[in-house]
Amino acid sequence: MIPKISSRKPPSPSEEFQYRDFEFDELLTSFRRVLTNPGEAIARVILIGPSGSGKSFVLDNFQARIQNRRIVNRETDVQLNCISIDCAKHNTSKTVVLEIIQKIDPFFYANADECQTAELQYILADILYARKVHLIIIFDNIDSLVEKEPVEVNSLIYGFQRFSEGKSKDEPNLFSQILVAQDIEFLAELDRSVFRKIVTDVIPFEPYSAQQTFNLVNEYIKKNIKKKIVEETIWFIAMISRGNMHLSLELVDKADTLAQKNHSITIIPEHLRAVNKSLTDFCITNQKLEEFTIGHKLLLLTIARRFKSSTKAFLNFLDLPSFYISICEEYNQMQLAKMFSDILSDLEKNAMIALHNLEREILLSLSDISATELANQLEETLKAKRRDKPYFL
């Protein structure tokens, strides 16, 4: 399951995101001298972690602390400021610098096509020097910009670094940087010399555990969702989102909307399966189904029918063989019943279903398509093989 990049960020109030105290303290430690004496020190930190792992939460709180406290160097009167730029929205380093300037000075205008990155950086430095501001720049999704123009990103990072090196006592350091990416691989595209003179701390973020995701989603539901949702369904959300809180909350929000559209007072797994298909790149298509043998199709139909007729998020593995035999009988394929274990293993390898070990039970889940839709597709494909009086589950 590969989450798509959503066009909007789901709501993420800070009190709903815990378990990131250590990473937040690490960031504060890296910027200790900058926070204490703006203009007298410089810091650069790289935040690494997959989408929905809490990077935005930590940075939002870091930025809020700076904005709310109005941090000023008492001796030099240099004030600390922090802004965030989403590099995924930019194709060039020039427009990145231009957005930074316009966040500092909303009335500034320049035609990016007629300017160079270095020229805009000098303009920004002059503005900050005149206003006595040390600026922390958060380059969110810096890896996406590196993919587009790695050479220019080298110049971008080094350009900001130059304004904080070799200054006299009368000239403040103007810039600190926070680079945010999903993994550390983007550094391979950058010049190592850019990172030699300044100590760069790397703070890794891991996906939330299933238990953490369950706790966070449960708290979010209590505060924001009026419809009923049982504990097992919340665990289902935690498992299919795989520690991605952005995806978890978007699943909840859109499942709530779908439940309302269907006039349901409860959010059930079927709503989540339907929503999850629209949020992931993996989905079960008719073409994919045609590639499977009839045995695979019949076992998928067994699973789809069981979920379709139930509000449960998981099926007990031990219940499936008898249901599969009934489906094989309905479609006159009893010789396939003995292949149950091999077929189930193939479906798991192909990510069509997932098996979970819970205490002493093995549970099965279906997450990337609604059970109703899957059952309808399979029944349409297999209708020619049905007996005149099929045995229905």
Question: How many Cβ atoms sit within 10 Å of the Cβ of residue 322?
Answer: 10
Reference 164, options 43, 79, 37; nearest CA is 43
The predicted-structure confidence for 211-224, as pLDDT tens digits, reads as follows 999 999 999 999 99
Reference 85, options 162, 17, 157, 179; nearest CA is 179
When mean pLDDT is compared across 73-77, 283-287, 333-337, 341-345, the lowest value belongs to 283-287
pLDDT at 9 over 50: no
pLDDT band at 387 (very low <50, low <70, confident <90, very high): low
Average of per-residue pLDDT across 196-217: 90
Average of per-residue pLDDT across 280-293: 79
Rounded CA-CA distance 102/89 in Å is 15
Q: What is the CA radius of gyration of the chain?
A: 27
The label of the residue with tokens 């099965």 reads: 364
Average of per-residue pLDDT across 266-284: 86
Rounded CA-CA distance 90/114 in Å is 17
Q: Which domains does the chain have, with CATH numbers?
A: 20-204 (3.40.50.300), 210-279 (1.10.8.60), 286-385 (1.10.10.10)
Going from the C-alpha of 83 to that of each of 31, 99, 137, 149, the distances in angstroms are 15, 10, 5, 22
